[in-house]
């Protein structure tokens, strides 16, 4: 049957990664550690308090949740907005600041949802360039040449894991004619000395930093993303948010998780140790590896599809991100890292 879909969607495929039942699943950058019992109990108690009131709409502005997120970031509630994952946050940004007749610039390879979100909002997507080492290639020059309404910077970048110096972000913000969005989904995994763009917010009223609770907080199933920006940006985004977009249950669960962030974030250092171990051991095998400030590692694979299949045959699922000559592996538990590295040593040998 032929459907009257928009022509720009012809031949497109939905976003997704294989969800296969294998012993070691390291392809979607999830936190491999389950939510601790004390946190599940706190979340269950918070949800229980909301159940009798589900006949009423939730707080459409999620003020209490935004206050908790702001406290985590060292900001005010007026500078924070939350939605169902950082993808929804970024979609709202494109809806209000981009759209038909406007453009968004991103430096590829980068998070594959950025161009899809641009497509869905009728925004022209412009592919910026990176160098062979995945650094931005003359970002100021590219912004000046294209004059985009929205610039996407990803730090740490997905799928490369590489982070940006604040000087680079500031230089882009100095010349960008519109909004600059810094996607910091993996910010908590940064190596010591790697800064956050949140530090630049007082200087740049059109700068936006987006984050998520999916990764470091191990809250991927909870679906909670947020942004930090000026009060004016937050007020603008609320013009396009759907009514009551965050359920009372999502808000309650996220607040309970934030209240126990010390416990949840205790796994971050363990994951960073495994990430750095993967980098060291792959390089000892003469496998090219990109420096990573995230919870994953991009590594060289001359025949990426074949290596992906060979790893899967050994019970290890990694991600083929569509970047020729490269694959991406999530840093998981020590046991998961053992399995991945053992398979790699066998295959490289």
At residue 12, the pLDDT reads 84
At residue 283, the pLDDT reads 98
Tell which residue, 14, 29, 18, has the closest CA to residue 330.
29
**7-36+266-348 and 37-260 agree in CATH topology:** no
How many angstroms separate the CA atoms of 300 and 315, rounded? 20
Region label for 75, one of left (φ > 0), alpha (ψ between -120 and 50) or beta (otherwise)? beta
Report CA 106 to chain centroid distance, whole Å. Answer: 14
For residue 31, report the phi and psi dihedrals to the nearest 5 degrees.
Answer: -80, 120
Topology at the third CATH level for domain 37-260: 3.40.640
At residue 21, the pLDDT reads 87
How many angstroms separate the CA atoms of 304 and 43, rounded? 41
**258 close to 72: Cβ distance less than 8 angstroms:** yes
Mean pLDDT, 10 residues at a time, the chain of 349 residues: 86 80 94 96 98 97 98 98 98 98 98 96 98 96 98 98 97 98 98 95 98 97 98 98 97 98 96 98 97 97 96 97 96 98 95
CATH of 7-36+266-348, one of 3.90.1150.10, 3.40.50.12160, 3.40.50.1100, 3.10.100.10: 3.90.1150.10
At residue 298, the pLDDT reads 98
**Residue 230: C-alpha distances to residues 41, 98, 243 (Å):** 35, 18, 22
**Residue 249: C-alpha distances to residues 99, 284, 300 (Å):** 31, 47, 42
At residue 19, the pLDDT reads 80
The predicted model scores a pTM of: 0.96
Q: Name the burial class of residue 101, with classes exposed (0-12), middle (13-18) and buried (19+) by CB atoms within 10 angstroms of its CB.
A: exposed
Quickly list DSSP for 239-254. TTSPTT-S-HHHHHHH
At residue 1, the pLDDT reads 74
Residue ranges per domain, the chain? 7-36+266-348, 37-260
**113 close to 107: Cβ distance less than 8 angstroms:** no
How many angstroms separate the CA atoms of 160 and 135, rounded? 10
**196 close to 190: Cβ distance less than 8 angstroms:** yes
At residue 314, the pLDDT reads 97
């Amino acid at each position: 049957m032929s459907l009257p879909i928009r022509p720009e969607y012809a031949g497109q495929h939905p976003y997704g990664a294989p969800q296969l039942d294998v012993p070691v699943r390291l392809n979607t950058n999830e936190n491999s550690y389950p939510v601790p019992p004390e946190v599940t109990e706190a979340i269950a108690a918070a949800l229980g308090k909301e159940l009798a009131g589900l006949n009423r709409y939730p707080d459409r502005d999620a003020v209490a949740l935004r206050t908790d997120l702001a406290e985590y970031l060292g900001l005010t509630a007026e500078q924070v907005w939350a939605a169902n994952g950082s993808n929804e946050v970024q979609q709202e940004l494109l809806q209000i600041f981009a759209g038909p007749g406007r453009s968004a610039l991103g430096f590829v390879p980068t998070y594959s949802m950025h161009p899809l979100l641009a497509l869905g909002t009728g925004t022209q997507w412009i592919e910026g360039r990176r160098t062979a080492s995945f650094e931005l290639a003359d970002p100021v020059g590219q912004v000046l040449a294209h004059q985009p309404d929205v610039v996407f910077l990803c730090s740490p970048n997905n799928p490369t894991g590489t982070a940006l110096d604040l000087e680079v972000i500031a230089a882009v913000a100095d010349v960008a004619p519109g909004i600059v969005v810094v996607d910091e989904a993996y910010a908590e995994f940064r190596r010591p000395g790697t800064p956050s763009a949140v530090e630049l917010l007082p200087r740049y009223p059109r700068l936006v930093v987006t984050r998520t609770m999916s990764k470091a907080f191990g809250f991927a199933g909870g679906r909670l993303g947020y942004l930090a920006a000026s009060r004016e940006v937050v007020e603008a985004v609320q013009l396009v948010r759907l009514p009551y977009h965050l359920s009372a249950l999502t808000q309650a669960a996220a607040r309970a998780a934030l209240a126990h962030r010390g416990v949840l974030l205790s796994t971050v250092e363990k994951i960073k140790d495994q990430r750095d171990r993967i980098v060291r051991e792959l390089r000892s095998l003469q496998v090219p590896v990109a420096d990573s400030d995230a919870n994953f590692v991009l590594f060289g694979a001359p025949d990426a599809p074949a290596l992906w299949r060979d790893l899967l045959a050994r019970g290890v699922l990694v991600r083929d991100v569509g970047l020729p000559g490269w694959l991406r592996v999530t840093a998981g538990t020590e046991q998961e890292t053992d399995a991945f590295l053992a398979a790699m040593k066998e295959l490289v040998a």
